[in-house]
Chain A
């Protein structure tokens, strides 16, 4: 056989946003995070924010590695503390569009307290949670998202705890934008991310993602293709329903959709309001603003 001459690959539209010198990435084959990361990159390009104004903050875990591949101001922080770090970043530079990308364990176990308080304050952050139902990075331990009865390395005979419904929790504690998709819903994810980035306030997008290496294997859900099929068959879109009813039942269906999209003053809106009322000519904070004319 004659060896084919190797062609220089044509540039991918995402290349300018990628630290291509860090590829290959660390994610396992069949993992849903890569798909979500692709959606994040498309959303950043579509959102209309000047790229210098976009910053990503990650916690620790598989999804926490996203920041390391993004060729923008990117911060890979401590386990659970991405939201408070992002809070400081956002407040110091209000014109930034700050996105937090992390996993279910990082955001809702070790970081749960920070999540609820940032939502209560309506801190202007976009939270992207890739929910793979377990701690993938450390080899597949039980998480606050692990379904009842599911097997992990720390629930070897089945999880005896009930999981959180993250979307319901987010809505309850004050998020102004809440949506959930599976990693198959690429266009929906991208649209939701653009809306969440442009939304002023605490926005939350949860993406259910297959983890064939640990969660899928231990629960006999098959490989990457089987898991993808599983998500395809079980997910049902129910936009605008009460997120308390957006249940995730592995035996029946996985409810996805956009559940919340409301307006509420942000932390900085109120900070400015009170300070101007009490102190007079308090300076106006610029705030984030998509400026398509300046888009790279």
Chain B
């Protein structure tokens, strides 16, 4: 065989490429996608790498088809992924909803660019945060993670696959143009040091198998095509047998399952990191590329004697409600820089519950947030709460 699945070593690699290596290391062997800036490099590298590991790459006719194809591949037993941006993410919403309803593991990488519409195809934004949460129709819980470096494009793609396999749902990798196109040091560990989680398989014979009966962890074991389980998988509201049932009882049972498997496991899913938080008076809560601006601003603030810290959100959805609530009770203010005009700050405010002021540092998109603006916000919070 021509290629290795895990390219252990140290590389100078861009984020989109690192995402591909993370996917393949996690066991992804199927990619369906459609070219779109700034996510095209993911498709390009996958088209080169997947055949090397006996995987399947297919460029579909559009993003509707790409999303449908990865769901089909997942039910065919492969770990599958697509990547997109901007308008392509909008087109995927229809079948993300199908993936959520049918509890189909897969990963959708959204390398965010500025919108609305065609917007700034080559330039950064973080403006699909709420679309990732609520963009598809119907009520559901979703998992989304946000990398802030090419290294994290590798690490978080592995993690996204693990989450999708463990909790049986599409997981959104909410990257952005700068993280996708930035070239940095990426360390790919040896294969045996990479934790890989695979979906639970049924342990009962076909006649006793109920495709949507959850175990105690809220997640049902998943049979795939060809294993003799003869399961029915439907986007209609279904019971534990997978059979369509058109009534409110079945709807409530299904929605409860979709919601609870994420909510009840939220503590295991949610990850964040803290910097200089111990004595911090004011904290910048950031995600994705804006973490880099936040860290720079906080380092500068510390030089000036301001006790500032950073919370870096690795999971975006589910949102770390408890952590924010605790934090809000301890500090003089929270600041959120984001490359949109106020999306995650709404969650931050909600969870802070009025315990401290919450300040947004917005950016319409097209560039990353200058650290000076966060520094000014730090001053503002300290002055206003003095």
Residues of chain A whose beta carbon lies under 8 Å from any beta carbon of chain B: 19, 21-22, 51-53, 55, 57, 67-68, 70-78, 80-81, 83-93, 95-96, 113-114, 117, 267, 271, 275, 278-283
Known pairs A19-B232, A75-B72, A117-B61. 4 more at Cβ < 8 A?
A68-B244, A90-B76, A92-B74, A95-B226
Q: Is the CB of A93 within 8 A of B226?
A: yes
Q: How many residues on the B side are at the interface (Cβ–Cβ under 8 A)?
A: 47
Residues of chain B whose beta carbon lies under 8 Å from any beta carbon of chain A: 1-3, 30, 32, 51-52, 54, 56, 58, 60-62, 64-66, 68-78, 80, 94-95, 97-98, 224-236, 243-244
Closest B residue to A70 by CB, please name it: B232
Tell me which of B30, B52, B56, B70 contacts A271 (CB under 8 A): B56
Q: How far is the CA of A117 from the CA of B68 in the complex (A)?
A: 14
Q: How far is the CA of A279 from the CA of B48 in the complex (A)?
A: 11
- Residues in B with CB closer than 8 Å to A77 are 68, 71, 98, 235
Q: Is the CB of A84 within 8 A of B243?
A: no
Q: Is the CB of B95 within 8 A of A71?
A: no
DSSP class of A's interface residues: helix, strand, loop or mixed? helix
CB-based closest 9 A-B pairs: A92-B76, A88-B72, A88-B69, A84-B65, A88-B73, A89-B72, A84-B68, A76-B234, A92-B73
- Residues in A with CB closer than 8 Å to B73 are 88-89, 91-92
Closest B residue to A113 by CB, please name it: B61
Tell me which of B1, B66, B230 contacts A72 (CB under 8 A): B230
Q: Is the CB of B232 within 8 A of A88?
A: no
Q: Is the CB of A81 within 8 A of B94?
A: yes
B30, B227, B232 interface centre (most CB from chain A within 10 Å): B232
Q: Is the CB of B226 within 8 A of A81?
A: no
- Residues in A with CB closer than 8 Å to B225 are 55, 73, 89, 92-93, 96
Q: How far is the CA of A77 from the CA of B73 in the complex (A)?
A: 13
- Residues in B with CB closer than 8 Å to A117 are 60-61, 65
Q: What's the least CB distance linking A124 to chain B, in Å?
A: 13
A71, A84, A96, A267 interface centre (most CB from chain B within 10 Å): A84
- Residues in A with CB closer than 8 Å to B52 are 279
Q: How far is the CA of A71 from the CA of B69 in the complex (A)?
A: 23
Q: How far is the CA of A68 from the CA of B62 in the complex (A)?
A: 27
